[in-house]
Amino acid sequence: MQIGFVGLGKMGGNMVHRIRRDSEHEVVAFDFDKDAVKRAVKNGAVGANSLADLVKKLEPPRLIWIMVPAGAPTQQTVERLAKLMDRDDTIVDGGNSKWTDDKRRAAECKSKGIHYVDVGTSGGVWGLEVGYCMMVGGPVKAVKRLTPFLDVLAPQTNEQSLDAIGPRGWMHFGPAGAGHFVKMVHNGVEYGLMQAYAEGFDLFDKSEYELDNAKIAHLWGQGSVVRSWLCELAARAFEEEGNDLASIEGYAEDSGEGRWTIEEATARDVPTPAITAALYARLYSRGNGDFTHRVLAALRNQFGGHAVKSVPGNGKAPVKAAPVKAAPVKAAPVKAGPAKSARKPRGSGR
Active site residue 257: no
Type and span of the H or E element at 119: strand 115-122
CA dihedral for 220, 223, 226, 228, sign (positive or negative): positive
Q: List, in order, residues 6 or more apart from 6 with CB less than 8 Å away.
A: 12, 30, 31, 51, 54, 64, 65, 66, 67, 68, 77, 81
Given 183, 208, 263, 335, which residue is catalytic?
Answer: 183
Task: Tell me which H or E stretch contains 124.
Answer: none
DSSP letter string, 318-347: PBPPPP-PPPPPPPPPPPPPPPPPP-PPPS
First to last CA, the chain: 123
* Cα 256 to Cα 2: distance, rounded to the nearest angstrom: 32
Question: How many Cβ atoms sit within 10 Å of the Cβ of residue 302?
Answer: 11
* Catalytic pick among 190, 232, 316, 330: 190
190 is catalytic: yes
**What are the distances in angstroms from CA 332 to CA 328, 329, 335?**
12, 9, 9
Q: What residues have CB less than 8 Å from 140, skipping those under 6 apart? A: 172
| Residue 241 to residue 88: CA distance in whole angstroms | 50
DSSP single-letter state for residue 277? H
316 φ, ψ (degrees, to nearest 5): -105, 140
| Active site residue ranges | 183, 190
